[in-house]
Structure 1
Amino acid sequence: MALPVRFILIFALMKSQMKLRVFFLALTLLFAERMFSQIPSLTEKSQISLLTCAAGDDLISAFGHTAFRVQDSVLGIDVVYNYGTFDFNRPNFYLNFVKGRLIFSLSRRRFDRFLFQYEMERRWIREQILNLSLDEKNAFFTYLENNYLPENRDYLYDPLLNNCSSVAGDILKELYGDNIVFEGSHLEKQYTFRQLVRQNLKLNSWSSFGIDVAFGSVVDRTATVQEHMFLPYYAMEQIRNTRKDGKPLLERERTVLDYTEIEQKNFFPLSPLFWFGLLFLFTLAVTYLDHKHGTRSRWLDFSLFTLTGLIGTFLVLLWVATDHTSTPRNFNILWAFPLNLFVSYVFVFKQQLPSWFLKYLWTALGLLALLLIVWLANVQIFSPVLIPLLLTLAVRYVYLLKFVQK
């Protein structure tokens, strides 16, 4: 709406004998959107802080959240800068997610609106006010405002290296360079990226299992002290152990919302370990009956080979055909062997197994053995939930090997 039209509306409201406070409210609304058209200079009453929000009960919020807050009681500023904003309606959102080209954005909203979401979800928020001079606050504020410009606010998201939490350390380094020192004495040990992710998920859950399978061996390297900050809880702890110009960066800390930590629920009959264990017992029973009657259950073999082949093909595509930094060199393809997908037709269309199938089975068993070596050598760490599935494949491979030899 054009500016003169808004003034006409305001004066029309005044003429209708509305109360004086309504007039001032209208003026506030009129100029609110223009507050940051020119970046104001913060006053001595200003504060810049890091907000850490508790983890939620779904995968999107399971790791918590980090944002910056700028407030100045003199200027009436109290806004939150949130680097964790994404839009499901953006073109090709899901395709870009699979390709590793997901775009996140910096959003800016009033603190009370930001707070409302976490009050509704009953998730705690802790605020860490940074020990900055007035000039440093203004430089920080200008940096955030420039990042919020339409041409700057979008960035290529990476769940481990460039997310709403890791950006906190990046910004501090960009603003203050070597004057910022991230001390690591508070860490019991420096963890690998896989270990850090597992700390926030139930190990026996489909989300944890899926992430473990999708991650390649590249995430089994030890993260640096700053890289631990990709997790909001570690970013919060790091702020307590960071020095700027030899002095603590943290001025003081307070609790904004005080709720108990949300516990992730895990119903065992719906967990992957339960279903993989059931599959193993079922395969044992079917294999025993096959052995007793001197036959083979083609439908079972077709299902196992098709499933593992599909998973393996997907993992190869994640490795070579996407921009994900966490999926290359994935040795899960040793059990989810992509060629199983093409071999599976043998169990449907062939009454007699071909002669080359014997060599293929030896290769499949050798790949399972190689997986154990890779695991024991810590080249890549696999999910323990995978063990019943590996046993299932081993049992069936061995039986088919003996069946073909007969």
Structure 2
Amino acid sequence: MTPLRHITLALFIAMSWLLASPTHASVANAPAANLEIALVTYGPGETYWERFGHDALQVRDTVSGESVNFNYGEFDFDQENFFLNFARGRMNYMMGAAFSDIDESYYIETGRSITRQRLALTTAQAGALRDFLLWNLRPENRHYGYDYYIDNCATRVRDALNRALGGALKAQLAARPGGMTYRQQTLRLMSNQPALMLVLDLGLGPYADHPLTLWQESFIPMVFQRAVENVRIGDGKGGWQPLVSDSRIVSANRLDTPPASAPDLRGPLALAGLAIAALMLLARRFWPTGFTLLGMLYALAAGFVGWVLLVLWTLTAHHSAWANANLLLFNPLAWLLLPSLWRARRGITPSRFIDGVIAMQLLATIVAVVLHLLPGVVQQNQPWLLFALPIWLMLAWRLRRPV
């Protein structure tokens, strides 16, 4: 996805096409036989919304030389209630278009790679794709409800191309397994921003851990770029030919390249959990006030995370965050421990009610572990289990009511 940069130009282009005289040579009115279609893929950028890359369909009139890039996934921070709608999972994104050299200049300037793959479409397919893109660019058609995984810039380009190919693209890619899950791709691409990566991993539910087909995994532009290299289509003469007839790098990448696989968070989070638990244990013995401060800080954070996870599940359209098992580890019950943690600095033991709250939290943690061990597709939240378990065990031990 990309911030809105081309809306004025896109509308100008659209109106120009609608009002152009038949004698004006352009992509809009060129004969289908003169059209050349290419898939243009832009590598990841440095800003968090650029980490997943971007792509576009390029339509070029080989006679006039006019070339236009059609792309999806544009958004506008100034849009009314943008951040509120974003939080609710109701994101209004747009299709855009720009002359190819103008569109690609931004990515060249920012150091992002550009790869252009010329597609071997028939005359009828190229004309149908051009007509669909022009229709989709109209003001009444250009807006759509964005979804990170199933309806983003890459899936819209993929679907438009599949439409022109009569479903041949989906038939081939859906029959092949993907290489990673939604979670793994997310962590891999966000690994250069560790804090945001951890927040996303914490907030993703079991939806993000289902195995994907190559069709589904093509929500990543770079995955789709590689996938189309192995697609074959009819050549119009009863035979078969590669979909990609030519591929070249227009501009090389000058930024850090994302790792090939997702980072393993189990070790770092397990060590972090053990370190916090050990620090609390030492503080409880040698600095009771420090234990209180650490315990209250953890309880506040756990309760806050729990409320956020609960809201994401029950009050938003972020379906990738629904039914999150981390809610068993971090939940609003933690805030009930705050008074007891405050009194602990004076050695006051908690009430039987707090004993019950601690028991409920330990039970919830055990349930989270059991859910993780069940056969089949389960949420891959092992790093957070390893983080939270030693801390909750330590707090339960130090806050338990003497028998």
TM class by shorter chain equals 0.7 to 0.9
Q: 184-193 or 63-72, which moves further after superposition?
A: 184-193
Q: Which runs of 5+ in 1 are unaligned?
A: 1-29, 266-270
Say if 1:95 and 1:31 are closer, same or farther in 2 by CA, change over 3 A. closer
Structure 2 residue aligned with 1:298: 292
Cα deviations across residues 42-92 of structure 1 (Å, max 9, x unaligned)? 353421111111112232111111111111132342111110210000011
**Alignment partner of 2:125 out of 129, 136, 145:** 136
Structure 1 residue aligned with 2:237: none
Answer yes or no: is the 8 Å Cα contact 1:183–1:238 preserved in 2. Answer: no
**Alignment partner of 1:321 out of 315, 320, 335:** 315
Local SS of the residue matching 1:183: helix
**Alignment of structure 1 residues 312-391 onto 2, 5 Å:** 312-348=306-342, 353-377=350-374, 379-382=378-381, 384=383, 387-391=386-390
Local SS of the residue matching 2:86: helix
**Alignment partner of 2:248 out of 224, 241, 254:** 254
**Alignment partner of 1:72 out of 42, 61, 77:** 61
Structure 2 residue aligned with 1:395: 394
**Are 1:34 and 2:23 counterparts?**
no
Q: 249-258 or 170-179, which moves further after superposition?
A: 170-179
**Alignment partner of 2:74 out of 85, 89, 94:** 85
**Alignment of structure 1 residues 166-205 onto 2, 5 Å:** 166-183=155-172, 190-202=179-191, 205=194
**Alignment of structure 1 residues 261-276 onto 2, 5 Å:** 262-263=256-257
Cα deviations across residues 347-383 of structure 1 (Å, max 9, x unaligned)? 4489652211112212212222222222333511026
**Alignment partner of 2:281 out of 287, 301, 306:** 287
Inter-partner Cα distance in structure 1 for 2:383 and 2:250: 39
Give the TM-score normalised by the residue count of structure 2: 0.82
Residue 220 of structure 1: how far off its partner (Å): 1.2
Answer yes or no: is the 8 Å Cα contact 1:183–1:241 preserved in 2. Answer: no
Q: Give the letter aligned to residue 237 of structure 1.
A: R
Cα deviations across residues 247-277 of structure 1 (Å, max 9, x unaligned)? 3222221111123552469xxxxx9987985
Q: 51-60 or 154-163, which moves further after superposition?
A: 51-60
Residue 170 of structure 1: how far off its partner (Å): 1.6
Cα deviations across residues 189-225 of structure 1 (Å, max 9, x unaligned)? 5432212323323288112211111111111111122
Say if 1:31 and 1:322 are closer, same or farther in 2 by CA, change over 3 A. closer
Inter-partner Cα distance in structure 1 for 2:32 and 2:158: 25
How many matched pairs? 370
Residue 185 of structure 1: how far off its partner (Å): 10
Inter-partner Cα distance in structure 1 for 2:372 and 2:59: 47
**Alignment partner of 1:233 out of 215, 222, 225:** 222
Inter-partner Cα distance in structure 1 for 2:105 and 2:134: 23
Answer yes or no: is the 8 Å Cα contact 1:54–1:261 preserved in 2. Answer: no
Q: 319-328 or 364-373, which moves further after superposition?
A: 364-373
Inter-partner Cα distance in structure 2 for 1:102 and 1:181: 26
Inter-partner Cα distance in structure 1 for 2:179 and 2:258: 25
Inter-partner Cα distance in structure 1 for 2:298 and 2:242: 57
Q: Which runs of 5+ in 2 are unaligned?
A: 1-11, 21-27, 235-239, 260-264
Residue 285 of structure 1: how far off its partner (Å): 3.2
**Alignment partner of 1:211 out of 200, 203, 208:** 200
Percent of aligned pairs sharing the same letter: 24
Inter-partner Cα distance in structure 1 for 2:141 and 2:342: 55
Inter-partner Cα distance in structure 1 for 2:267 and 2:76: 34
Say if 1:114 and 1:346 are closer, same or farther in 2 by CA, change over 3 A. same
Q: 291-300 or 306-315, which moves further after superposition?
A: 291-300
Structure 1 residue aligned with 2:152: 163
**Alignment of structure 1 residues 55-134 onto 2, 5 Å:** 55-134=44-123
Cα deviations across residues 26-47 of structure 1 (Å, max 9, x unaligned)? xxxx999523446413353421
Say if 1:293 and 1:253 are closer, same or farther in 2 by CA, change over 3 A. closer
Give the TM-score normalised by the residue count of structure 1: 0.81
Q: Give the letter aligned to residue 301 of structure 1.
A: G
Structure 2 residue aligned with 1:9: none
Say if 1:70 and 1:383 are closer, same or farther in 2 by CA, change over 3 A. farther
- The RMSD of aligned alpha carbons is 3.1
Q: Give the letter aligned to residue 257 of structure 1.
A: S
Local SS of the residue matching 1:106: strand
Inter-partner Cα distance in structure 2 for 1:130 and 1:119: 23
Local SS of the residue matching 2:364: helix
Inter-partner Cα distance in structure 2 for 1:263 and 1:385: 27
**Are 1:310 and 2:304 counterparts?**
yes
Residue 173 of structure 1: how far off its partner (Å): 3.0
Q: Give the letter aligned to residue 356 of structure 2.
A: K
